[in-house]
A and B are shown apart, each in its own frame.
Chain A
């Protein structure tokens, strides 16, 4: 393995490259992950962004980026990235830009686009071996339009389209495995609450060619209904309860980068969020809680030593 620049928390950047003054909600876990990721990418990037909360970052004439940005329709950001990559390659070949002026092509979408509408475009981009990074900030719903359910919404969560006593009846799609099944160069899960793990993975992805895909679980005070000061706490709990496994896929293998020593009960994570309050009030829904815990236990069986 190549040496990482990020051995300790102390090695993390202490001033930040992403511009301030963006319109995302106070306490946005998506922005938390993005600003950490941007510190590692640097400004020589072009973001290809499908409609979602992060589209608000670049509302004319404002941008927090140092490099470039392109807006696409929800389903086709990877296709947009292909066009940009091709254009950059042609310019490089013709000598119209120097290697130094080349940009890293980064698709930036929410889970609605990544898990659902844009999945087919991603599948073919991986198949074509497109040299790009896909960054999905996963707030488990259509955040920008008022948190309707998406294919990333977890079982039993309340969304604005799943208001019944049982919450969302479906299950969160396993996008990591779907992406990994395409055998791209790299797939990883990250979270802003674990900045060191995140920085190492982004550093690694940055240096590789080919399709590299990252999912950042993004605690969302607005959509998940918690106070904005709890973003990091909730992110840490997602990892410590085993709900959000931190892992990477490379060369046909999946490696867990952080195996929670003693997993906390999933309840510790669920009860901090209003979107799960119906699991506890007016009466505890034991069966649903046991079902959620059971799924997490089954996942970790055989993984934890």
Chain B
């Protein structure tokens, strides 16, 4: 059975990628499961979707714990623990990363040897959420890596899954999917289908057993205020708003009222401050500032600049 996991951000088309790949497997006569991990996550948040495909009925359920292939549409997710890109990766897992860096760099960084392949990401795209066709490219690449999906099945699956979208959008996706498919020609069939796991060999994950308590104790009531602040939604950000203190007129803090998340407050000298731990990078503040004192910087650049002290 093939167990394939796609990682990306909400908005990059991972759910579509899993559906295209799933349907392509199906067209090749496989039994298929494909599903996005369903949760409260929104645009920009790390998400994943998965596909299982087998020649015989699939009895496995739930998320894939040990994938045969992991596809990462947005390389900025690899170091984010919450994204779980490397979760359950074994010696047999192949990793495909869409990136502007080389495979050698990623092999060194992850210490995973030749189990790492790369798919060139468009370098001119500064904001990773603009990688609208990442899903199609990843689905195409994944199809080739399995070695059991023909180009025709990939195309047909894409047409079926994207039916109803404007013709131009479908065409662009098709182009990207075929490009991904072609780029992986040298690695055709590299993904090895994992063995079936028998129910007897199943070991439960590390559940936390909760004792059966009285409703007064065990009901999901929250007894503290503002616990949401424990969630670092700053990880969703692909572009970072940066306030230029020279240009900021310390107006009526239009940015502060407008910020949907309320993450801009005003310090004692009336300067606005952004809480980067929680700023989701919507860039509303950039568009509303009347003095154009807030600019948007690609997050990966901002992080590199921070790390090198630039």
Contacts and interface: CB of A to CB of B under 8 A. Distances in A.
A28 B260 contact: yes
Contact of B227 (A26, A61, A230): A61
Nearest to B280: A26
Interface in A16-32: 16, 18-29, 31-32
A274 to B, nearest CB: 10
Nearest to A55: B40
B233 interface: yes
Interface string A50-87: 00000011111111111101000000000000000000
Interface residues of B, number: 46
Given A56-B40, A228-B284, A20 B261 contact: yes
B260 A35 contact: yes
Contact of A232 (B232, B233, B288): B288
A77 to B, nearest CB: 18
B266 A15 contact: yes
A104 interface: no
Contacts of B261: 20, 22, 24, 26, 31, 35
A21 B229 contact: yes
B226 A64 contact: yes
Interface stretch (B106-114, B141-149, B250-258, B302-310): B250-258
B278 interface: yes
B262 interface: yes
A93 to B, nearest CB: 24
A20 B284 contact: no
A61 B222 CA distance: 6
B229 A222 contact: no
Contacts of B251: 9
B222 A62 contact: yes
A77 B63 CA distance: 34
A163 interface: yes
A contact patch SS: loop
Interface stretch (B41-49, B65-73, B151-159): B41-49
B282 A231 contact: yes
Contacts of B277: 20
Contact of B229 (A10, A20, A43, A195): A20
Q: Contact size class for A? A: 35 or more
A36 to B, nearest CB: 6
A217 to B, nearest CB: 14
A195 B40 contact: no
B43 A228 contact: yes
Contacts of A117: none
A229 B164 CA distance: 27
Contacts of A43: 225
A118 interface: no
Given A9-B252, A12-B257, A14-B256, A19 B227 contact: yes
Contacts of B233: 20-23
A301 B13 CA distance: 45
B272 to A, nearest CB: 8
Given A14-B265, A195-B258, 8 more contacts: A9-B253, A12-B252, A20-B262, A27-B280, A62-B230, A229-B283, A230-B284, A231-B284
Interface of A: 8-10, 12, 14-16, 18-29, 31-32, 35-36, 43, 56-67, 69, 163, 192-193, 195, 221-222, 228-233
12 contacts: A9-B252, A12-B256, A20-B278, A22-B261, A25-B44, A26-B237, A35-B262, A62-B222, A62-B228, A195-B258, A229-B286, A231-B258
